[in-house]
Amino acid sequence: MKGNVIVGQSGGPTAVINSSLAGVFRTAIDRGANKVYGMRYGIQGLLDEKYVDLSDYIKNELDVEILKRTPSAFLGTCRYKLPAIHEDQDVYERIFEILDKLNIECFIYIGGNDSMDTIKKLSDYAILKGHPQKFVGVPKTIDNDLALTDHTPGFGSACKYIATSIKEVIRDGNGFSYNKQLVTIIEIMGRNAGWLTGAAALAKGEDCEGVDLIYLPEVAFDLEAFTEEVRELLKVKSTVFVAISEGIRLADGTYVSEAGGGSGYVDAFGHKQLTGSANYLASMINNELGCKTRAVEFSSLQRSASHLASRVDINEAFMVGGAAVKAADEGDSGKMVVIDRVSDDPYQSATGVYDVHKIANDEKLVPRNWINEKGTYVTNEFIDYVRPLIQGDYPCVMVNGLPRHLYLR
């Protein structure tokens, strides 16, 4: 590689997005990049010429190791939608002016389906105007809703946190169950895809009864049927645990979170902020059935719990970062790195590259046949798919009793 590399992070962060950043940095240096720049706050920050030289912050192997274990986006992230090329070329001219000034050869963007829209538009523009830079995307999202990749980095660690925390919530609730009924409703992120919520099923095992009901956004949610399910369960047990996706919707398409008031916030890609469904349903069950209820919203904890990251996930996140640099250096552009599952037992994966036009802005949902007929739990096939992704741990570097993070001031 003769020129420089620039890398950005975009969209909702994960526990392992910085492991991908570390993978990009390491491979770029190994392949002879002179400088590896990091965009501050993704493409939005780059437009304001906000970037750093990553060598100023990643100085040795220990920094690489700490970065891999640091949650959230080290460089800062954004939810910024580039205009369509025919709508506004000035913004593209500005970006390419900055890339030329920094002698950028490879532009790497770590993100989800909205972020791949940026790779798609920039690579299209480069071809249209004959710019030499190569643009490659690195998959990332706890939602696991990217097409054409077996799964996305960030998903496995979020699943591990969710299953672990649900086991703990169940222990907590069952400890109080003498002569008392309790319904606990746990709200899990994932927007319109139920992958992460389905991972609640992993909590069940020899030492844990698991959750009783799981509701994904792929199946319309019925308030009355739900109340009846809970009523029936309370006839035979005193504690009921329910996992719901933040994105569950009524038959008419209204998000349950909106029915409960919602937040009203909408981002640049038109996504509504989904929050408050567990609270709404917990109050409803309390009113209808008169029992004690509790709402648990994992919120940002589920995507930032690097103390519980899965080893498979951290290693794959690092691997896809490196693979993106290799692909761009070898001439690929307008592509995203994908993870292919090579085998389940032992679990093995490899990387490939795919046309980003087939991935950007698309949402991969849980197949209907991986959800039971009533829409109240996931199938064994779903569980077999997720379980390998939560395996192994990656111990934090502990200082004064707490995990050490690499931090960009």
| 140 belongs to the binding site for ligand F6P (CB under 6 A) | no
HSE-CB at 178 with a 13 A cutoff on CA atoms is: 1
Q: Which of 190, 210, 322, 334 binds ligand F6P (CB under 6 A)?
A: 190
Q: Which of 28, 189, 295, 359 binds ligand F6P (CB under 6 A)?
A: 189
Closest Cα partner for 22 from 41, 43, 7, 39?
Answer: 7
| 141 belongs to the binding site for ligand F6P (CB under 6 A) | yes
Helix, strand, coil shares of the chain, percent, nearest 5, are: 40, 20, 40
Burial of 218-246, coded b for 16+ CB within 10 Å and e otherwise, reads bbebeeeebbebbeebbeeebbbbbbbbb
Q: Which of 142, 185, 296, 319 binds ligand F6P (CB under 6 A)?
A: 142
Active-site annotation holds for 124: no
Residue closer to ligand F6P, measured from CB, 7 or 274? 274
| 143 belongs to the binding site for ligand F6P (CB under 6 A) | yes
Helices (H) and strands (E) in the chain, counts: 13, 13
Closest Cα partner for 112 from 139, 135, 136, 149?
Answer: 139
Residue closer to ligand F6P, measured from CB, 303 or 335? 303
Q: Of 143, 145, 212, 313, which residue is the catalytic one?
A: 143
Q: Which of 131, 160, 191, 204 binds ligand F6P (CB under 6 A)?
A: 191
Restricting to residues 349-408, name those near ligand F6P by CB under 6 A. Answer: none
| 153 belongs to the binding site for ligand F6P (CB under 6 A) | no
Please report how close the Cβ of residue 214 comes to ligand F6P at its closest, in angstroms: 16
| 336 belongs to the binding site for ligand F6P (CB under 6 A) | no
Cβ-proximal residue to ligand F6P, closest one: 12
Restricting to residues 241-280, name those near ligand F6P by CB under 6 A. Answer: 246, 273-274
The DSSP line for 306-348 is GGG-BHHHHHHHHHHHHHHHHHHHTT--SEEEEEEEEEETTEE
Q: What is the 3-state secondary structure (H, E, C) of 147-201?
A: CCCCCCCCHHHHHHHHHHHHHHHHHHHHCCCCCCCEEEEEEECCCCCCHHHHHHH
Number of residues in contact with ligand F6P under rule CB under 6 A: 13
| 12 belongs to the binding site for ligand F6P (CB under 6 A) | yes
Catalytic residues: 143
Contact positions vs ligand F6P (CB under 6 A): 11-12, 112, 141-143, 189-191, 246, 273-274, 303
